[in-house]
């Protein structure tokens, strides 16, 4: 065999030689080589064993928040205000300042687009005591309103001219007078099988009749004392407005005023008649009201604070 053949055989042997096997991985890893377990919420930003991932802190804080005492149905933020947790709705709005609104749903915070979240939260903390107090007042008001809702049936009572009037269904009144007051009882000419809606509508019709008669009498009493004349009376069913007046002498009064005592009704009548002389709420206007109702402040407070039945 020649030298060339020997060299070729050597190369062929080298090419066909199997690659050395890689050592099998050890089943027991060295303690120093074991990686530090990483929280599932986010990988650690560096290799320091003492570093806590920021995202893990945020998630932990969110899950640790207690159930809010007051929660808006569209709440998207939560804060601890005066040691009370409040979940509130935060909205961006076209306005110049940060606004706070507390109603039956809860707290709504509105802020301009240029106000940062930190600035908004700082302003909210400054208002914390006020916000919690208003939330408590609204909650108590809603509780009282729920208790004041009338279930229209025989024997129910409701306020009339500041006194409680008991309702009795008396079918014998159907062909005589549809409603008559006997002492502290209102007898309606309805059968015992009348529905709550029928009873409510009958009571409302009676109240509206009584309201018109009473309002006309009080308007005629106070108008000459101011030297004004009213031309037309309309009954209102507004939810929050008790009366209004126009310069042409038209007066509008809410029939629900008959739930209040007569002195409160007199204040509203005097208030609207005073507008026939002063069509604003300037000091001159209130001086005019005071000539008719010297204690109008007390009557005004009663109008605002007394709880009326929910129809």
Q: What is the DSSP string of 124-148?
A: HHHTHHHHHHHHHHHHHHHHHHHHH
Q: Looking at 102, 127, 147, which one is the last position of a domain?
A: 147
Q: What is the pLDDT of residue 2?
A: 44
How buried is residue 270: exposed, middle or buried, by Cβ count under 10 Å (0-12/13-18/19+)?
buried
How buried is residue 71: exposed, middle or buried, by Cβ count under 10 Å (0-12/13-18/19+)?
middle
Q: What is the pLDDT of residue 25?
A: 40
Domain that holds residue 168: 157-305
Is the residue at 57 inside a domain?
no
Pick the closest to residue 121 from 133, 135, 107 (CA basis).
107
Q: Are residue 168 and residue 115 in the same domain, yes or no? A: no
Q: Looking at 147, 175, 190, which one is the last position of a domain?
A: 147
Count of domains forming the chain:
2
Is the residue at 4 inside a domain?
no
Q: Are residue 176 and residue 225 in the same domain, yes or no? A: yes
Q: What is the pLDDT of residue 64?
A: 63
Q: Are residue 189 and residue 85 in the same domain, yes or no? A: no
Q: What is the pLDDT of residue 241?
A: 87
pTM value? 0.60
Is the residue at 166 inside a domain?
yes
Is the residue at 176 inside a domain?
yes
Q: What is the pLDDT of residue 58?
A: 45
Q: Are residue 121 and residue 208 in the same domain, yes or no? A: no
Q: How does pLDDT run along the chain (311 residues), one tens digit per residue?
A: 444 443 343 334 334 444 444 444 433 333 334 344 434 433 444 444 444 444 444 444 455 678 899 999 999 999 999 999 999 999 999 999 999 999 989 999 999 999 999 999 999 999 999 999 999 999 888 887 776 678 899 999 999 999 999 999 988 766 556 788 888 999 998 988 999 999 999 999 999 999 999 999 999 999 999 999 999 999 998 877 899 999 999 999 999 999 999 999 999 999 999 999 999 999 999 999 999 999 999 999 988 888 777 77
Q: Are residue 298 and residue 161 in the same domain, yes or no? A: yes
Is the residue at 201 inside a domain?
yes
- Residues forming a β-bridge with 102: 107
**CATH at residue 291:** 3.30.2010.10
Q: Are residue 240 and residue 182 in the same domain, yes or no? A: yes
Q: Are residue 238 and residue 195 in the same domain, yes or no? A: yes
Q: Are residue 185 and residue 213 in the same domain, yes or no? A: yes
CB neighbours of 235 closer than 8 A, spacing ≥ 6?
A: 208, 211, 212, 252, 253, 254, 255
Q: Are residue 142 and residue 178 in the same domain, yes or no? A: no
Q: Are residue 166 and residue 139 in the same domain, yes or no? A: no
Q: Are residue 114 and residue 165 in the same domain, yes or no? A: no
Is the residue at 1 inside a domain?
no
How far apart CA 55 and CA 42 sit, in angstroms, is 6
């Amino acid at each position: 065999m020649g030298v060339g053949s020997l060299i070729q055989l050597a190369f062929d042997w080298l090419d066909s030689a199997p690659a050395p096997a890689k050592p099998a991985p050890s089943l027991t890893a060295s303690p120093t080589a074991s990686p530090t377990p990483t929280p599932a919420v986010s990988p650690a930003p560096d290799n320091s064993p003492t570093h806590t991932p920021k995202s893990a802190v945020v998630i932990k804080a969110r899950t640790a928040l207690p159930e809010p005492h007051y929660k808006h149905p569209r709440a998207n933020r939560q804060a601890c205000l005066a040691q009370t947790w409040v979940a509130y709705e935060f909205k961006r709005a076209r306005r110049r300042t940060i606004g706070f609104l507390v109603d039956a749903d809860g707290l709504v915070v509105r802020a301009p687009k240029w106000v940062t979240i930190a600035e908004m939260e700082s302003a909210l903390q400054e208002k914390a005591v006020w916000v919690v107090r208003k939330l408590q007042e609204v909650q108590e008001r809603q509780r009282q309103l729920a208790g004041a809702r009338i279930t229209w049936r025989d024997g129910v009572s409701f306020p009339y001219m500041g006194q409680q009037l008991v309702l009795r269904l008396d079918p014998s009144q159907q062909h005589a007078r549809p409603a008559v007051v006997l002492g502290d009882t209102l007898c309606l000419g309805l059968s015992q099988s009348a529905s709550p809606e029928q009873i409510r509508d009958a009571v409302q019709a009676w109240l509206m009749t009584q309201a018109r008669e009473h309002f006309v009498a009080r308007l005629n009493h106070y108008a000459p004392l101011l030297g004004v004349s009213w031309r037309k009376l309309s009954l209102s069913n507004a939810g929050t407005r008790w009366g209004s007046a126009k310069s042409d002498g038209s007066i509008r009064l809410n029939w629900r005023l008959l739930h209040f005592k007569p002195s409160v009704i007199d204040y509203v009548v005097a208030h609207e008649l005073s507008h026939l002389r002063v069509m604003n709420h300037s000091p001159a206007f209130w001086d005019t009201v005071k000539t008719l109702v010297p204690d109008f402040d007390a009557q005004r407070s009663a109008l605002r604070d007394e709880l009326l039945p929910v129809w």
